[in-house]
Structure 1
Amino acid sequence: MRPHRVSAAPRTAVSALAALALLTGCGAAGGLKSAGDAPSAVEPKSLWPELPPASSAPYDYGEGETARIPGIRVTGGDVRRLDPVTVAQAGLKAKTDRDSGLDELPDGTARQIEACRTAPDDCPVLPPYYRDLTGDGRDELVLGIRMPDRQLAVRVYMPDKGRLTRIMSTYDAVISVELAGRDLIMRAPSVIPGYEYRTAWSWDDRQRAMLPTRDEILRTPEHRKAPKPSPDSTASSAGTR
């Protein structure tokens, strides 16, 4: 963000008023008091500066991967008019702009999606959600697809000049999926007891895709505060002294 600039005249007037306030407030009850010297800023220290920087990422996590969904028209840019099952079925034929392999669904899940009309009880497509995640004033379509081993595929679709473009596709064994403002937040379990992973996906204008902008490992809600001992446990421990 660019700092606001103040002209010289207002700066002079503000300085004069501040000086007058300090002079008249000295010794008065409730006057200004010094909080002491401010701590000095510590410059970041670069570790192992002689190491050459990496030129390419060792893994592809599917960030920025998009796909135009074939055969889908978005009338008036309103994704609420779309049938989510039709979108999921058309998405099986979509070609991504690059192939990370993360867009592919297991064969069994793909067959279930294709059979959603004839076997609706086994259809893995969950009810859709809608939210303006790109900031253009139009809602995006958010779909969840159940996968084996309690994993969930999460996909976001954007209306794009009368067509439909998938701007996010990922999957994980999730604790929950949340919409917060223009972010989509996924919580996943960690192998460390009492902790979980939390990833926030946000729209990026340059990539024209949702990117994982924050990836954290946090204490789970039930472990964020140490449990308080109950009165019974306190009494029993006091009795054993």
Structure 2
Amino acid sequence: MAPPTPLRRRPGAVPAAALATLAALTVLGVLAFGHPAPGGLRDDGPRVAVTPPTSAKPLWPGLATAPPPATSATGSSTQAPPPQPVPDLTAPGHDLTAVDLHTLLAKDPAVSAEERRALDSCTGCEVRAPEFRDLTGDGLPELIAAVATPGQVALHVYTLTGDRVLPILRVQIKPDFGAATLDSDLWLYEPTTVTTRTTSHYQWDGTRLALVEKRVDGIGLLPPTDPGTDPPTGTGAVGAVPGPVRPSAEARPGAGAAVPTARPGRPQPQPAQPSQRYQPTPQYQQSSQYQSSQPSAPAVVPEAKR
């Protein structure tokens, strides 16, 4: 029998296995270049600028301040006439920082007689060095001044219009006040009580610094009590420091109270067996008075003489 004739492949024919491999590679290529792989990197365009959060900037940080405000601040009313520039005063070179503070306060008609005495260094008076912060949002600093008189402080804020100095706020607050700026807003704090304070928020309204909000906040000066700490045993007041306990002659341990263990003393002689001649009467055995009067140590019964 003749051997089978081997099959001949047509010229240009491709095996089926090679076609399947080529198709799989094509699909993988489309997936790889057409869609990003999970967890891979991709280009989302130019980076977006990140602006850091704003924070409060204290005024006169070197001075000790008490917790914030209580009395009502005399903020300007929206129906009041617009402020007028300080007469007979101009800012050299249109620079508010170049204006002399004492000269400015002396020429400001809104400065009270008590404040004018502070300019002459009266007892208990102080004119704080000016602070400069942008409170109108125009990029230029405003002048913030504080004049302390006995019992109160007058806070003044001035801005510049051209070369003229314009007062935009005057408020009376307590001597131990606090102040800070947040962006272009002014915050004043006055102590109300030992545990509360009054916060006043001022904002530029295009004409002056207007009072936006006023609230009373709790500041919690009292330290919190640790719930896991038990009060000292034997003390009736919270926070009392326990001292040494002295035993009293009248004190008696109550029901369930722990009785302290006595220190081991010297060994006591063992009592001798009572002879037949010594027998305590039943009335002494049953009398509680006789038992309470006996010493705590066992009594030694003398032996009979021989």
- Smaller-chain TM-score bracket: 0.5 to 0.7
- Aligned equivalent of 1:218: 217
- Quote the Cα distance in structure 2 between the aligned partners of 1:132 and 1:210: 12
Measured on the aligned residues, the alpha-carbon RMSD in Å equals 3.0
After superposition, residues 1-241 of structure 1 pair within 5 angstroms as: 61-63=75-77, 66-91=83-108, 94=109, 103=110, 105=112, 107-113=113-119, 115=120, 119=121, 124-149=126-151, 151-173=152-174, 174-191=176-193, 193-205=194-206, 208-220=207-219, 222=221, 227-229=224-226, 234=230, 236=232
TM-score, normalised with respect to structure 1? 0.57
By relative contact order (CA 8 Å, sep 6+), the higher-ranking structure is 2
1:236 alignment partner, SS class: coil
Give the deviation of 1:237 after TM superposition: 5.5
Structure 1 pair 176/200, CA: closer, same or farther in 2 (3 Å)? same
Segments of 5+ residues of structure 1 without an aligned counterpart are 1-59, 95-102
Unaligned 5+ segments in structure 2 are 1-73, 237-306
Distance 2:186 2:94 in 1: 21
User: Structure 1 residues 168, 221: CA separation in 2 closer, same or farther (over 3 Å shift)?
Assistant: farther
Whole-angstrom CA distance in 2 between matches of 1:188 and 1:230: 32
Residues 148-193 of structure 1: per-residue CA shift (max 9 Å, x gap): 21x11111000011100000001111431222221111111225x5
Give the Cα–Cα distance (whole angstroms) in 1 for the partners of residues 106 and 219 of structure 2: 36
- Count of aligned pairs: 160
Q: Which residue of 2 aligns with 1:97?
A: none
CA distance in 1, matches of 2:144, 2:231: 53
**Which has more strand, going by share of residues?**
1
% identical aligned pairs: 19
SS of structure 1 residue aligned to 2:202:
strand
Which amino acid letter does the alignment assign opposite residue 176 of structure 1? G
1:8 paired residue number: none
- Per-residue deviation at 1:121? 8.5
Task: Give the greater-gyration-radius structure (CA).
Answer: 2
Residues in 2 aligned to 1:144 and 1:204: alpha-carbon distance in whole angstroms: 22
Indicate if the aligned counterparts of 1:156 and 1:169 stay in contact, CA closer than 8 A.
yes
Measure how far apart 1:221 and its partner are. 5.0
Q: Equivalents in 2 of 1:131, 1:239: separation in Å?
A: 55
Counterparts of 1:74 and 1:172, CA distance in 2: 28
Q: Which protein is richer in helix relative to its size?
A: 1
